[in-house]
């Protein structure tokens, strides 16, 4: 049962991921990207990462996608006629990405057999356990992340502001 769910979610993620880059209209690309994020969120749920499932839906499918849609509509990019690379460049891109995938798969084939997975003890993906690890083991990175957010926020406002000179 789980394996069929895995194959379904993987198929959905890969198909909509491909549609993101093949779709000509940027609005459709964003909507396909939302489907990809939901499929990956489903994978998180299968892997018992319930907290990350919620965060994925809220941050990616919610906040980041709204930001993308907002910018696309603000810039009025929803026209079908948009610039495309010439065919030689497209061919080279497909070859390059295909070779990268080939290297990944070849590296995977070269690995020795992995040991059996650890027996799961309790739910490490719940917010109770993740919070303990986050605020004990990773307290300094957590605080640094807040600084990063502040810097990004100030930077985005600075960049987005119209010059009043």
Partner 1 sequence: MSAIQTIPVNLYILLSAVLFSIGVLGVLFRRNAIIIFMSVELMLNAVNLLLVAFSSYWNDAAGQIFVFFVMVVAAAEVAVGLAILVMIYRNTGSTDIDVLNKLKG
The alpha carbon of 113 is separated from its chain's Cα centroid by a whole number of angstroms, namely 29
Interface with partner 1: number of residues (CB under 8 A): 82
100 near partner 1, judged by CB under 8 A: yes
| Nearer to partner 1 (CB atom), residue 125 or residue 164 | 125
Among 8, 73, 129, 143, binds partner 1 (CB under 8 A): 129
Give, in order, the Cα–Cα distances in Å from 154 to each of 63, 157, 159: 18, 5, 9
20 near partner 1, judged by CB under 8 A: yes
Run of H or E including 124:
none
125 near partner 1, judged by CB under 8 A: yes
Among 119, 140, 164, 165, binds partner 1 (CB under 8 A): 119
Among 88, 117, 140, 164, binds partner 1 (CB under 8 A): 117
Q: Give which of 69, 54, 61, 5 is closest to 36, Cα–Cα.
A: 61
| Nearer to partner 1 (CB atom), residue 3 or residue 164 | 3
* CA dist., res. 4 & res. 46, Å (int): 12
Among 12, 35, 57, 64, binds partner 1 (CB under 8 A): 64
* CA dist., res. 111 & res. 117, Å (int): 16
Question: Do 77 and 152 touch, CB atoms closer than 8 A?
Answer: no
Among 79, 80, 81, 83, binds partner 1 (CB under 8 A): 83
């Amino acid at each position: 049962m789980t394996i069929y769910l895995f194959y379904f979610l993987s198929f959905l993620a890969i198909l909509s991921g491909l549609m993101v880059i093949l779709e000509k209209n940027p609005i459709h690309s964003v909507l396909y990207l939302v489907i990809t994020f939901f499929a990956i969120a489903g994978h998180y749920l299968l892997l018992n990462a319930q907290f990350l499932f919620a965060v994925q839906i809220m941050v990616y499918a919610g906040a980041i996608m709204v930001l993308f849609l907002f910018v696309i509509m603000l810039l009025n990019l929803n026209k079908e006629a948009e610039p495309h690379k010439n065919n030689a460049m497209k061919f080279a891109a497909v070859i390059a990405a295909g070779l990268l995938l080939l290297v990944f798969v070849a590296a995977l084939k070269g690995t020795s057999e992995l040991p059996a997975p650890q027996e799961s003890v309790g739910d490490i993906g719940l917010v109770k356990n993740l919070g303990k690890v986050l605020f004990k083991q990773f307290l300094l990175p957590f605080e640094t992340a807040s600084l990063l957010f502040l810097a990004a926020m100030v930077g985005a406002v600075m960049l987005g502001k119209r010059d009043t000179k």
